[in-house]
Amino acid sequence: MSAEAIQSRRDWLLSERPASRMQARLGRTYVAWRRFSANRLAFLGLLIIIALLVVAALADVLAPYSPTVGDLKGSRLLAPSAAHWFGTDDLGRDILSRVIFGSRWTLYVVILVAIIAAPIGLLVGTVAGYAGGWVDAILMRITDIFLAFPKLILALAFVAALGPGIENAVLAIAITSWPPYARIARAETLTVRNSDYIKAVQLMGASPFRIVLRHIMPLCISSLIIRVTLDMAGIILTAAGLGFLGLGAQPPLPEWGAMIASGRRFVLDQWWVAGAPGFAILIVSLGFNLLGDGLRDALDPRSGDQ
């Protein structure tokens, strides 16, 4: 593509007089993207997350060995080498392969928690904030109760009741992580519910349901996305913690937290068994944190154009 073609495409995106709905939306996305990609660290975070997605998608191709079947006779607890880049664990399994397959479980947990917790929080918060009165009081007291429980302890109790397993760990984490989202959504709702543009929609005869869904939620979503992204690292750590305690993923599932737990018995002599998954958790958590910080700058409705 020539320089002029790129320039004209940019002009089209940044046009002050968009000619169609699509152009207006694309232009807005482009502005947010430019603000985001100007931040080097945030861009690094995005690259880490993209790398995680690619690794998870291509795990079958990338992993040199099976993640669950090891060679008990010949390759127990080998140090990192050309044949086994991250070494092998006590059952003779290649740790690199396990870390690569573990990325799937990490993504699984993170995405499921986000899909369950964020909409619950958004719904509870916006409804409470917009309705006010006793609806607000009841919903927020329920939120307070959930907030008062220590997160890991509630997750523990939940897993203890339903039985260990990665699905139950996901449910337990989701149930304990929606209250902060509800609070954010409620706070955002309170700042806009009395504004003239919401009054104007009321004056058109819009139902409260429509106002919350189409006019208030879009305003809350960007701060919620930021918060969820920043929480991802915490979610990964909680999932790893549950795995470490033996209440999350069960063996032989290559989940990073469970891998650290099994490696802790020989952490002094064979450090790589616990070290590799630990390092993977560190990198991915860092990636989500950097991404979240960058999104805050790019999406914050209070910066730049309103």
Partner 1 sequence: MNAALSIDGLEVVFDRFRALKGVSLEVKSGESFGLVGESGSGKSTLLRAIAGLAPAASGTIAVNGKSLGARRDKAFYREVQMVFQDPYGSLHPRQTVDRLLQEPLAIHGFADGEKRIQRALDEVGLGTGFRFRYSHQLSGGQRQRVAIARALILEPSILLLDEPTSALDASVQAEVLNLLEEIRRRRKLTFLMVSHDLAIITHMCERLMVMQNGEAVENLTAAQLVGHRATKDYTRNLLRASDGFVRTA
Residue 133 lies near partner 1 (rule: CB under 8 A): no
Residue 21 lies near partner 1 (rule: CB under 8 A): yes
d(CA 237, CA 244): 10
Q: Which residues contact 107 (CB under 8 A, 6 or more apart)?
A: 52, 53, 56
Segment 22 to 41, residues that bind partner 1, using CB under 8 A: 23-24, 28
Residue with Cβ nearer partner 1 (10 or 141) = 10
Residue 204 lies near partner 1 (rule: CB under 8 A): yes
Q: Which stretch binds partner 1 (CB under 8 A): 18-26, 84-92, 137-145, 169-177?
A: 18-26
Residue 245 lies near partner 1 (rule: CB under 8 A): no
d(CA 48, CA 280): 11
Pick from 215, 241, 289, 298 the residue near partner 1 by CB under 8 A. Answer: 215
Residue 11 lies near partner 1 (rule: CB under 8 A): no
Q: Count CB atoms within 10 A of the CB of residue 41.
A: 13
- Dihedral of the alpha carbons of 272, 277, 278, 284, in degrees to the nearest 10: 140
In whole angstroms, the minimum distance from the beta carbon of 23 to partner 1 comes to 7
In whole angstroms, the minimum distance from the beta carbon of 159 to partner 1 comes to 40
The residue count of the chain comes to 306
Residue with Cβ nearer partner 1 (1 or 19) = 19
Residue with Cβ nearer partner 1 (23 or 68) = 23
Residue with Cβ nearer partner 1 (8 or 195) = 195
In whole angstroms, the minimum distance from the beta carbon of 24 to partner 1 comes to 4
Q: Which residues contact 113 (CB under 8 A, 6 or more apart)?
A: 170, 173, 174, 177, 235
Residue with Cβ nearer partner 1 (117 or 299) = 299
d(CA 232, CA 212): 26
Kindly determine how many residues on this chain lie close enough to bind partner 1 according to the rule CB under 8 A: 28
Interior CA angle at 232 toward 301 and 66, to 5°? 145
d(CA 152, CA 191): 32
In whole angstroms, the minimum distance from the beta carbon of 138 to partner 1 comes to 23
d(CA 276, CA 205): 59
Residue 201 lies near partner 1 (rule: CB under 8 A): yes
d(CA 296, CA 236): 20
By CB under 8 A, name the binding residues for partner 1. Answer: 16-21, 23-24, 28, 195-197, 199-206, 210, 214-215, 218-219, 301, 305-306
